[in-house]
Structure 1
Amino acid sequence: MSYFLKTDRLALRPFGVADADDLVALDGDPEVMRFINGGRPTSRRTVETRVLPRLLDVYPCWGTQAYWAADEEATGTFLGWFEFRPLERDSSAVVELGYRLNRAAWGRGFATEGARALIDKGFTELGVERVTANTMAVNAASRRVMEKSGLSFVRHFTGDWPEAIEGSEHGEVEYELTRAAWELSR
């Protein structure tokens, strides 16, 4: 199998159509989807016609996907996915970091481990200058991952939610890490 990145406990690999069942299970968990859409499960049809094509999309600046399936290295168990997506398809200068892991992986450091590894790869191999991430202001767990991964709070903002969900009235937060700040922290 071809891997984009490996850590001590994670193997990040390109998505394939065979991952549909795992994605349906991941996006079917109301707790996983709580800060995404209020906890509504994503239908298999939506996973197959909208979610999977987005995850399979290849970005010209890298010639590869920008979302990777995350498997536990020791067992091969699907844990979820990581996003390290260029904001402009033809430029790797600014990327968005994201992650969605199943509940069994929560609280075990996988999100931070994967995020740090992607950030390091971005700054050392992929020409990244700035990593950005955002979440709902009330999503304390995701904010902790961003902070532990070296990102710093930039701003609080109110986004356009197509449909309000619990906590959206508190807005969103943006975090970032620049190459210069990353180099100073090493």
Structure 2
Amino acid sequence: MTRKSRTRQLSPEEKRLWSHVARHVRPMQGKALPPEPEPEEKPATAPAPQRTAPVAVLPPLPPQKPALPPLAPVERKTLQALRRGRRDVDSVIDLHGMRQEEAHFALLSFLHRAQSSGHALVLVITGKGGAAVSNGSFEERGVLRRMVPHWLRLPDLRPLVIGFEEASPQHGGSGALYVRLRRRRGVG
């Protein structure tokens, strides 16, 4: 069974547009430019203006809050200094063993205290978690390891957090995060 493909004819406007585009490129070897389309005939009389329904004028939108800056990774030089022991973190919180709600509250409080103390880099220990089998069914583990990065990206923590990065092995590796804090405004 042979299928006949349907080809749609270009409208006069589409032909004019294509001709304009084609005039600005060099044709392939052996090909010619498409012919210039005939100008569209204008009707001798202008159509009567159509009445349109009145458009409702909406009040102006309130000014939007400035977009949050993207999170920035911890600088390479800082990570090297931490790894080589030439720099230490300003403060540490250990969340592993806590329930999610308790850990979230503890993290918020810790970050606010650390920022007000002028700390620039803190260590958040989440624990590595892992898979556990209990009563023959799979239990989810490592929830804090997964949730803390999510919490650090949330808009309510952006005034505190510049960025974060997985800690080096001597500080907990994948079970901990270095968190860079913003300077407190109005200090100075």
Note whether the superposition's TM-score is higher than 0.5.
no
- Name the one with the larger strand percent: 1
Task: Give the number of the structure whose residues are more often helix, by fraction.
Answer: 1
Higher relative CO (Cα under 8 Å, sequence separation at least 6) belongs to: 2
Could you tell me the TM-score, scaled by structure 2's length?
A: 0.31
